[in-house]
């Protein structure tokens, strides 16, 4: 095990997979000479050359379209979009082509491709560069959606995504790039797609979260433990498919659930998870499922107001206290 940042774990995953499989190629805006907007592709050009690490024009629709064709032709492209916000310019290729071609061709071809995209708010980048769009992709069948919270999961999930024969949306929270954690050195270390992880065991309330919200949930669990409240933290890791078994097993044990998401509340991921919990665990719930979500507003530029629009430790703590209350 080695301690490294989330950014370096992703970089290591890319290097290991490119060494493992010569069909893996990386393409996107500034991924080669500039080494990526967030430096995740650092060192790839010098090691693997310009045939496998390609700088592209500023055209997201083209980047994904080329990747779709490359995947159909036998390569394993890893496309980097500078931010998830720019994926809106490539939704035709993502939704109408990448997600559907395997089914429309009757399984005669596959699309082993991965789209890496930084996202999330909290960096004071304004409304058009601070969005959490994971539910856009979750709503479309035909592709996996992954969103790791820790460096170890970032490495293991990205390697699994690249090796998978289906298209994968791989999301990375911008505020996690400098976070550190222990990462297995084994080049064959993989994190299974579709499997959530219980990051902290507890007895009284389940907190379901993902990406940066998992980190905040763990902080809440640590703080509440001193007050005698035992929280179990379930990190989704995979948003599509959702690991119902792990979520429901935890809720059946604790009898209470708080679902935390950074995306907008209306039609958000939290609503889907809350619905599944209520459908499967209604008789054993000690309180209704509580949702903590981003506000349904365009993200403001002001740092103080931006903070109000994104779940914080304080708002998650209050949600836990609410479901623990006899009056809820």
User: What residue ranges in the chain does DSSP mark as E strands?
Assistant: 2-5, 24-28, 53-55, 76-80, 114-119, 144-146, 168-173, 180-183, 197-200, 205-209, 231-235, 238-240, 257-264, 290-294
The strands making up 144-146's β-sheet, listed across from edge to edge, are: 53-55, 24-28, 76-80, 114-119, 168-173, 144-146, 238-240
Please state, in angstroms and rounded to a whole number, the distance separating the CA atoms of residues 52 and 226: 52
Q: What's the distance, Cα to Cα, between the start and end of the chain in Å? A: 44
Buried b (16+ CB within 10 A) or exposed e, 108-137: eeebbbbbbbbbbbbeebeeebbbbbbbbb
In this structure, how many other beta carbons lie within 10 angstroms of the beta carbon of residue 226? 7
Q: Is 168 helix (H, G, I), strand (E, B) or coil?
A: strand
Positions annotated as catalytic residues are 60, 129
77: which strand partners? 25
171: which strand partners? 117
Q: Is 96 helix (H, G, I), strand (E, B) or coil?
A: helix
* Two structure tokens written together for 281: 């665990």
């Amino acid at each position: 095990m080695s301690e490294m940042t989330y950014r370096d774990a992703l970089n290591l995953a890319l290097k290991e997979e490119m060494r493992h499989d010569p069909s893996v190629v990386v393409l996107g805006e500034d991924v080669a000479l500039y080494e990526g907007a967030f430096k995740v592709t650092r060192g790839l050009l010098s090691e693997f050359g310009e045939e496998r690490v390609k700088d592209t024009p500023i055209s997201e629709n083209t980047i994904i379209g080329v990747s779709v064709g490359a995947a159909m032709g036998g390569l394993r492209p890893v496309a980097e979009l500078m931010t998830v916000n720019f994926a809106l310019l490539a939704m035709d290729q993502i939704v109408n082509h990448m997600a559907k071609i395997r089914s429309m061709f009757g399984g005669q071809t596959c699309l082993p491709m991965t789209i890496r995209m930084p996202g999330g708010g909290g960096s004071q980048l304004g409304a058009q560069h601070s969005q959490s769009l994971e539910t856009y992709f979750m709503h479309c069948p035909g592709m996996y959606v992954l969103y790791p919270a820790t460096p170890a999961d970032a490495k293991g999930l990205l390697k699994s995504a690249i090796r998978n024969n289906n298209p994968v949306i791989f999301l990375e929270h911008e505020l996690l790039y400098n976070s550190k954690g222990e990462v297995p050195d084994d080049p064959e270390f993989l994190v299974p797609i579709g499997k959530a992880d219980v990051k902290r065991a507890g007895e009284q309330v389940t907190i379901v979260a993902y990406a940066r919200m998992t980190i905040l949930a763990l902080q809440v669990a640590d703080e509440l433990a001193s007050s005698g409240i035992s929280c179990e933290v379930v990190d989704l890791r995979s948003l599509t498919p959702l690991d119902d078994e792990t979520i429901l097993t935890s809720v059946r044990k604790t009898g209470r659930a708080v679902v935390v998401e950074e995306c907008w509340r209306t039609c958000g991921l939290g609503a889907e998870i809350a619905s599944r919990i209520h459908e499967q665990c209604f008789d054993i719930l000690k309180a209704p499922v509580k949702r903590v979500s981003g506000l349904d507003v365009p993200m403001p530029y002001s740092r103080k107001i931006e903070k109000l629009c994104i779940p914080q430790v304080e708002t998650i703590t209050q949600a836990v206290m609410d479901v623990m209350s006899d009056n809820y």
